């Protein structure tokens, strides 16, 4: 990355910037570059044929019986014209030659660049036995959500494989349609690997409170059906009838197209704190696909959060232009379930639960996590926006959990 240069003339910068990926990280990078005065050529390659749209509503608003089910746009045609960007839709990248500075798309077209931004995101994992079966869904793009929403109707039976955030959000949306929902989770307690046993159990309890069935400590053996799914066979021998199956077992960084490029790929693309890919000048990674050195944790971390992708865009633009780099924000993710907004600051998985107030069942829960030195590393807040700000400041300032607790009111 070039050093910050306050005299840099972005208005006369003629470099060609190629952005691979048309979701939030890619789109916001373009907007940040133009806002900073960059006048060079910008081309965006989007694998989907949809105009760029926001991803969080896919498992939230788009499934609601009260919504239109339409994607929430990130850009309009007017925006594209004002940004003076070439937007190529349905142009999935299949190969990168960093020596020649060329990206090839599946139609065989070669796209040359001076600066490359890789923002290809992540792809949903599926069950092998679900490939090709009607009624089996993952939730990673707008078409997934539209197709799934069309199958929701009162009295239908849905089995959700995985009790993570995507699975839980679908379960909540389906219950609002009066769908009979069963959530199957391989671990004894949902989300325990992120939030610990106690808080994982609190959130898992929301399913039962709202009429869904939660089955833990059991895996999916296979999906039953000829052309359409009819049932889910579990590892303990039970079989669940199913009209719909939603697979929410995580995602993998979309890096398959980089095979043979030489880029350092290991659970994402390894890059510096500036988001420049390690060992590859003028190549940057942003969003779910990036695995940069994290300023707070001192080691590479890949984070699949919308806000992280948004923050990466500003950082990449500054790195490309050699302008002062903004300090990265704390990791933040939210999940809407059964009328509750669950918000997580930092990385609770890097610590132990040291403080709880309230409960998920009452709609007011605060949980704080600290590392071995007692310093806060993360927090979860449900239904208490004022506490969210307190937690954010405390984690950002590396406050000791004892000091944090001492400053809290008697009841929060």
pLDDT tens digits, one per residue of 278-287: 999 999 999 9
Can you give the residue ranges of every domain in the chain? 10-123+252-321, 126-249, 339-406
CATH architecture, domain 126-249: 3-Layer(bba) Sandwich (3.50)
Residues 6+ apart with CB under 8 A from 345: 330, 331, 332, 378, 379, 380, 381, 388, 391, 392, 395
Residue 4: what pLDDT? 42
Please count the other Cβ atoms lying within 10 Å of the Cβ belonging to residue 150.
9
Q: Which pLDDT score is estimated for 297? A: 73
CATH homologous superfamily of domain 339-406? FAD/NAD-linked reductase, C-terminal dimerisation domain (3.30.390.30)
Confidence of residue 33 (pLDDT cuts 50, 70, 90): very high
- On whether the CB atoms of residues 288 and 304 are closer than 8 A, the answer is yes
Instruction: Label residue 412 by pLDDT band (50, 70, 90).
Output: very low
Look up residue 188 and give its DSSP letter: S
The answer to whether residues 331 and 290 touch, using CB atoms and an 8 Å cutoff, is no
CB 260 within 8 A of CB 173: no
- pLDDT of 236 > 70? The answer is yes
Share of the chain above pLDDT 90, in %: 86
* Residue whose token pair is 């003339």: 9
Token pair listed for 344: 């997580």
Distance CA 12, CA 392 (A): 40
Mean pLDDT of the chain: 94
- CB-facing half-sphere around the CA of 220: CA atoms within 13 A: 27
| Spatial separation of the C-alpha atoms in residues 368 and 86, rounded to whole Å | 45
pLDDT given at position 151 = 96
What's the angle, vertex CA 150, arms to CA 27 and CA 65, rounded to 5? 80
pLDDT over 50 at 269, yes or no:
yes
Most confident of 60-74, 208-222, 321-335: 208-222
pLDDT digits (tens, 9 = 90+) for 44-98: 999 999 999 999 999 999 998 888 888 999 999 999 999 999 999 999 999 999 9
Fold agreement (10-123+252-321, 126-249) = yes
Q: Which two tokens stand for residue 249?
A: 């077992």
Band (327; pLDDT cuts 50, 70, 90): confident
pTM score of the predicted model:
0.92
Residues in the chain: 412
Residue 175 CA to residue 164 CA, distance in Å, equals 16
Just give the CATH number of 10-123+252-321: 3.50.50.60
C-alpha to C-alpha distance for 303 and 77, rounded to whole angstroms: 30
Region of 88 (left: φ > 0; alpha: ψ -120 to 50; beta: rest) is beta
Instruction: Examine the pLDDT at 2 and tell me if it is beyond 80.
Output: no
* Beta bridge mates, 370: 352, 376
Portion of the chain with pLDDT greater than 70, in percent: 97
Tens digit of each residue's pLDDT (9 = 90 or more) over 346-397: 999 999 999 999 999 999 999 999 999 999 999 999 998 889 999 999 999 9
Backbone dihedral region of 250: left (phi > 0), alpha (psi from -120 to 50 degrees) or beta?
A: left
pLDDT at 8: 57
């Amino acid at each position: 990355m070039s050093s910050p240069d306050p005299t840099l003339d972005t208005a006369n910068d003629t470099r060609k910037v190629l952005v691979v990926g048309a979701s939030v990280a890619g789109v916001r990078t373009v907007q940040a570059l133009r806002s900073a005065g960059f006048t060079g050529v910008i081309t965006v390659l989007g694998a989907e044929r949809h105009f760029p749209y926001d991803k969080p509503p896919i498992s939230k608003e788009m499934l609601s019986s009260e919504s239109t089910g339409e994607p929430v746009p990130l850009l309009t045609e007017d925006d594209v014209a004002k940004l003076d960007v070439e937007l190529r839709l349905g142009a999935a990248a299949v190969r990168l030659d960093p020596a020649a500075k060329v990206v090839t798309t599946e139609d065989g077209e070669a796209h040359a660049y001076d600066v490359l931004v890789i923002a290809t995101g992540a792809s949903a994992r599926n069950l092998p036995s679900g490939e090709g079966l009607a009624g089996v869904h993952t939730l990673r793009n707008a078409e997934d959500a539209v197709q799934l929403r069309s199958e929701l109707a009162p009295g239908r039976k849905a089995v959700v494989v995985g009790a993570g955030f995507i699975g839980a959000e679908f379960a909540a949306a389906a219950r609002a349609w009066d769908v009979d929902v069963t959530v199957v989770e391989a671990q004894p307690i949902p989300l325990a690997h992120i939030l610990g046993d106690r808080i994982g159990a609190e959130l898992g309890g929301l399913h039962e409170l709202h009429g869904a069935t939660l089955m833990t400590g059991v895996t999916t053996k296979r999906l039953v059906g000829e052309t359409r799914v009819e049932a889910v066979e579990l590892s303990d021998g039970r079989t669940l009838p199913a009209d719909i199956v939603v697979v929410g077992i995580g995602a993998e960084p979309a890096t398959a197209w980089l095979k043979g490029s030489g880029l350092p790929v290991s659970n994402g693309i390894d890059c510096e704190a500036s988001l420049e890919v390690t060992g590859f000048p003028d190549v940057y990674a942003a969003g779910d696909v990036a695995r940069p050195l994290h300023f707070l944790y001192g080691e590479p971390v890949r984070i699949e959060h919308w806000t992280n992708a948004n923050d990466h865009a500003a950082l990449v633009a500054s790195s490309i232009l050699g302008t002062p780099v903004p300090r990265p924000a704390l990791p933040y993710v939210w999940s809407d379930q059964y009328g509750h907004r669950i918000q997580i600051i930092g990385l609770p998985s890097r610590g132990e639960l040291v403080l709880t107030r309230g409960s998920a069942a009452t709609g007011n829960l605060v949980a704080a996590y600290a590392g071995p030195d007692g310093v806060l590393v993360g927090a979860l807040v449900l239904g208490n926006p004022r506490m969210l700000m307190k937690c954010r400041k405390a984690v950002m300032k590396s406050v000791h959990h004892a000091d944090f607790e001492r400053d809290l009111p008697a009841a929060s």
